[in-house]
Structure 1
């Protein structure tokens, strides 16, 4: 049997290759389910989780990139971000990830076999370009395939994969040189490309493109062959019917429409505040903070930071569908503000005591505690959730263009923090962390006033609420 069998209307039927022998799905006359509802839910979870684990290979490679390279990769990511939404809209989420994998592979090869600095610069830019596409496409794909009761946890796997990539690069860097580490960085994309052939395209993208039969087939595969998808199909169709989104070009002028202001402000605001709260600056200076506390091994410190990020993000993945997005964001931002205040106070007080005194050592320990608490708080909320909310609240009509703008804003702010952190820290360490603290405090107010709770709602319900 060929992968695409022709139907009476001439369009390919993607349904049949996915069906088990003896199992047959018809929208018109559905056979009664032989499975219990719990079995259907379990099958749906397994199918969606398999898709999430495959696309999460992209963020793992993303973590490798940004644990090794700095601001130049951010520039490449900004270029990739500009293109990300439009690529994902025109050729689909899977096609977008496949395109992103190619410059990543070429970039790692250029770095690994570099003969002069120009190859390193080119490799970093290519890596960043691929990451810019991945950072938008993966959370959007996960949000569009996940059941509403699991979307938060599955969506947070995106950030969990990033932290795993960062930790792996730290650990492997202890044992191999940078050229071999660059070769290892290729592996996630080499697995991602063939893996994409075994997972369905986003059903919501297929529906938006008018591929109704393929859309229903994809959704049936994701929910289980014996699941009743009628309600979800009708809800998605109603959402599309009330929009003029299908196959229509979206321009920047469309983003100025009043009905889009709030979701755009929330999506872009959270992704900017994620960076402006200064996490990259704290991590940049963490080795100095550890040394001041008597921790001389920077390798041990960075591996510890990587492990803490993974554990805290895993906890957030478990909590986000239980407690909700807003409460985690508020707790996370509040904790970050308090931690940054602790770090800044310890630095200010160090200026009044002798380096040989016991008080100076205690202040060093306090600054380390502040760094660890800040990283934990960031990973519990402000790390994973802004990407999740961006993928949930942007209206389907403008998602591609608006998502590109939001992703570009995130990477621009990341570049600003990465580029200015050394200058600010040379100017005043305590003053720098006070500035970061102010941004975290502003984030608490921003979330409390503007960010809605999206837990337990379908994407269509979320987007309808903004009308």
Structure 2
């Protein structure tokens, strides 16, 4: 959460690439501390460094992708971020079965080193360069991203024109985000992040083994299916997001989450009341698979895509920090309360999650705009004038 709330200011001050490097170094230091620790102080320091680094990454990566991508590929490229996350989770599940935890922690250094070294071979965000007044670097970066033979004049003019207008506006403070011209973007961004979390994704993911054991389903089989299902479904979401749009994917995803939560809740209700107990394991497995498949196709990635699209560059740092912070607060609340909810009522827990997913469907249908096929400048102009 600390990394999230500071991420926007850091990224605006030193740039997107430098922020990626700082986060990579923090994560490397954190994983080394965890690997070599002898006492709890060093272990806690390592956890703090990795937590701070991931909090920053969760903001700056989707923002950087959205600022460098052409409009017809932006959604798909941003969704690849989520694909890499679920791939990493799946790889960690597999490696965790053959490595001890210290060695497993050490493997976290590998992607950090790849990112740190790779950042020296890609240009800075053209929009950030334009915002800080580096005209020549802005044009060079945009040309490199679009290809040496591409005509960038129209896109460069639109970016510069939008930033020039924003330069004449007064400096935005955090409270200014709740003024009328930014309020809709804030509501959409914060709302999607909260619904992403309070639908139960992290509680279910962290306590997955206990859920399957409680239902009488082999936990190792369930975890393997859970881990491997995420990857192809997220790939499908990356393909569809720029074809069918953000809103349809969110509506399909939230509807599937509702169905998956409800099926799992019904299964645990049957177990508690001893109704056809032989069907409980299979029904829980089906509900969880529907749930994670639905999350992976839309609700996992699309809120981050929209977060990176909705805010003008003059408020993106503060607004993005706020939205990312709310995501991690939701993650904490979801993870912390899951055990207590299950102690209260196993089936009631999933019915509560189903109710949250039903509210998410209404929220998307009423408030979330479609951004497919629009430039960032067009999206932000429509949000501040509507």
Q: What whole-Å deviation, never above 9, does each CA across 1:285-335 have from its counterpart, x for those lacking one?
A: 332332355443x34432321111111111101111111000000010011
Residue 462 of structure 1, CA deviation: 0.4
5+ unaligned residues in a row in structure 2: which ranges?
none
* Partner of residue 457 from structure 1, selected from 371, 374, 382: 374
Do the aligned partners of 1:86 and 1:401 also contact (CA within 8 Å) in 2? yes
Q: How far does the alpha carbon of each residue in 1:48-98 deviate from its partner, in whole angstroms, 9 at most, with x for none?
A: xxxxxxxxxxxxxxxxxxxxxxxxxxxxxx010011000000111001111
Partner of 1:88: 11
- Sort the Cα spacing of 1:315 and 1:245 in 2 relative to 1 into closer, same or farther, 3 A: farther
Q: 2:213 aligns with which of 270, 280, 291?
A: 291
CA spacing shift, 1:220–1:245, aligned 2, 3 Å: farther
Task: Say if 2:264 and 2:287, in contact at 8 Å, map to a contact too.
Answer: yes
Aligned to 1:327: 248
Q: Does 1:262 align with 2:184?
A: yes
Q: How many residues align?
A: 384
Q: Which residue of 1 aligns with 2:272?
A: 351
Q: Decide which of 409, 412, 418 is 2:326's aligned counterpart.
A: 409
Q: Aligned equivalents of 1:374 and 1:194: distance in 2? A: 37
Q: Is the 8 A contact 1:143 1:151 kept in 2?
A: yes
Rounded Cα–Cα distance in structure 2 between residues aligned with 1:167 and 1:306? 5
- In the TM superposition, residue 242 of structure 1 has moved relative to its aligned partner by 1.7
- 1:428 paired with 2:345, answer yes
TM-score normalised by the chain length of structure 1: 0.80
Task: Evaluate the alpha carbon distance shift between residue 252 and residue 293 of structure 1 in structure 2; reply closer, same or farther with a 3 A threshold.
Answer: closer
Paired residues for 1:392-407 under 5 Å: 392-407=309-324
User: What is the CA–CA distance in structure 2 between the aligned matches of 1:386 and 1:210, rounded to whole Å?
Assistant: 30
Task: Describe the SS at the equivalent of 2:70.
Answer: coil
- Secondary structure at the counterpart of residue 243 of structure 1: helix
SS at match of 2:167: coil
Q: 2 CA distance for matches of 1:281 and 1:187?
A: 27
* TM-score (normalised: structure 2): 0.96
Instruction: Please list the CA deviations of residues 122-146 of structure 1 after superposition, one character each: whole Å capped at 9, or x if unmatched.
Output: 2112111000000000000000000
Question: For structure 1, which segment, 236-245 or 373-382, has the greater mean C-alpha deviation from structure 2 after superposition?
Answer: 236-245
Please report how far the alpha carbon of residue 262 of structure 1 lies from its aligned counterpart in structure 2 after TM superposition: 0.3
RMSD: 1.4
1:281 maps to which residue?
203
Separation in structure 2 between the aligned mates of residue 176 and residue 303 of structure 1, nearest angstrom: 16
Q: Supply the distance in 1 between the matched residues of 2:100 and 2:156 (Cα, whole angstroms).
A: 51
> Which of 81, 88, 109 is equivalent to 1:158?
81
Structure 1 residues 330 and 405, CA gap change in structure 2 (3 angstroms)? same
Residue in structure 2 matching 1:304, options 225, 239, 243 = 225
SS class of match (1:149) = coil
The answer (yes or no) to whether the contact 1:208–1:245 under 8 Å persists in 2 is no
Q: CA separation of 1:434/1:295 partners in 2, compared to 1, >3 Å: closer, same or farther?
A: closer
Q: Decide whether aligned partners of structure 1 residues 117 and 299 sit closer, same or farther in structure 2, where only a CA change above 3 A counts.
A: farther
Structure with bigger RCO (C-alpha 8 Å, 6+ apart):
2
Structure with the higher fraction of residues in helix conformation: 2
CA contact (8 A) 1:277 1:437 kept: yes
Contact 1:276 1:439 in 2 (8 A): yes
For residues 362-377 of structure 1, the aligned pairs below 5 Å read: 362-377=279-294
Change (3 A) 1:285 1:180: closer
Deviation of residue 249 (structure 1)?
A: 4.5
Counterpart of 2:29 in structure 1 is: 106
Contact kept? 1:289, 1:364, Cα under 8 Å: no
Question: Following the alignment from structure 2 to structure 1, what is the Cα–Cα distance between the partners of residues 280 and 140?
Answer: 60
Residue number in structure 1 paired with 2:172: 250
Partner SS state of residue 71, structure 2? coil
Which of 272, 295, 300 pairs up with 1:383?
300
Bigger Rg, which one: 1
Deviation sequence 1:326-354 (CA, Å, 0-9, x none): 00000100110011111111111212217
Match of 1:194 in 2: 117
1:29-44 matches, within 5 Å, as: none
**Corresponding residue SS for 2:15:** helix
What are the ranges of 5 or more consecutive residues in structure 1 without an aligned counterpart? 1-77
Q: Distance in 2 between matches of 1:285 and 1:130?
A: 24
Deviations 1:168-210 (A, max 9, x none): 1111111111111111110111111111010000000101111
Return the alpha-carbon distance in structure 2 between the equivalents of residues 102 and 224 of structure 1. Answer: 30
* Distance in structure 2 (CA, Å) of the matches to 1:176 and 1:283: 21
Task: Please give the alpha-carbon distance, in whole angstroms, between the structure 2 residues aligned to 1:158 and 1:299.
Answer: 27
